[in-house]
Amino acid sequence: MATGYGVIAAGPTSVTVLDTGVIATRADEPLAARLHEIYEGVLGVLDAQAPELVVLEDLYAEYRFPRTALQMAHARGVVCLAAYQRSVTVLALAPAEVKRAVAANGAASKEQVQHCVQRLLGLPDLPRPSHVADALALAFTGWCRTRSGLGRDLAPSLPAASPLQPSQVPSLSSHPRPDPGSPSPQQRSQVPGHPGPDPGSPSPLQRSQAPSLSGHPRPDPGSPSPLQ
């Protein structure tokens, strides 16, 4: 189980990538320990970036991989808990909605999403690993949806974030992943000028100066990845 995340800030004319990374856990650790690592990792990002919004991928399930949904549910739960404790609003978006927003195709492949995110955010390199690209796509889509009033609140009890303005729009996007046979372990993408997960990650498209965290959990071995 690993959680990729991306933090963006909106400015007057573009959106800038503030940070990206991967919070990874070891497959040989107990579930409780792994969830605690994800929780602590997300709290660390929230404290460092102080986003106004956390965007998560909606829970999905496949008949062949019932365990995937359970693992994602566990990871999403601790992400929501961390956001609640920091009084950050949480927004859930369906994978197809995110793909349509960034690639104009609800069935876009991982590679297409990566290339579209790179173009939209003006990144010099392709965002890697793919779950970091997914997290950035979630953050960007969540920011766009919130501005247009189309966002769907995942936790109504959470204190509402201050109205989005062209100068205050932090958004954090994070998403968990599976173990063996799935994404790689803890790494922070190498986005120009920013630490992050594996191979290179994001850069700019700015519209305000408030971070936004977008996250989405990912399952363990053999489970299908979310944004697919």
Least confident of 11-15, 79-83, 148-152: 148-152
pLDDT confidence bin for 40, thresholds 50/70/90: very high
Rounded Cα distance, 73 and 78, in Å: 9
Residue 188 has pLDDT above 80, yes or no: no
pLDDT at residue 207 is higher than 50: no
Lowest mean pLDDT among 52-56, 58-62, 133-137, 191-195: 191-195
What pLDDT is attached to residue 216?
Answer: 53
Q: What's the pTM value of the predicted model, to 2 decimals?
A: 0.69
What pLDDT was estimated at residue 70?
Answer: 86
Residue 174: predicted pLDDT: 61
Question: How many angstroms separate the CA atoms of 65 and 62, rounded?
Answer: 5
Q: Answer for the pair 4, 134: CB distance below 8 angstroms, yes or no.
A: yes
Percent of the chain at pLDDT exceeding 70 = 63
Q: Which of 21-30, 90-99, 158-167, 173-182 has the lowest mean pLDDT?
A: 158-167
pLDDT, one tens digit per residue, over 103-116 is: 999 999 999 999 99
Topology at the third CATH level for domain 2-215: Nucleotidyltransferase; domain 5 (3.30.420)
Query: Residues 152-172: pLDDT tens digits?
Result: 443 333 333 333 333 334 556
Contact partners, residue 44, CB within 8 Å, separation at least 6: none
> What integer is the mean pLDDT of 67-80?
89
Ramachandran sector of residue 189 (left: φ over 0; alpha: ψ -120 to 50; beta: rest): beta
Q: Which three-class secondary structure string do you get for 110-139?
A: HHHHHHHHHHHCCCCCCCCCHHHHHHHHHH
Q: Residue 177 above 80 pLDDT?
A: no
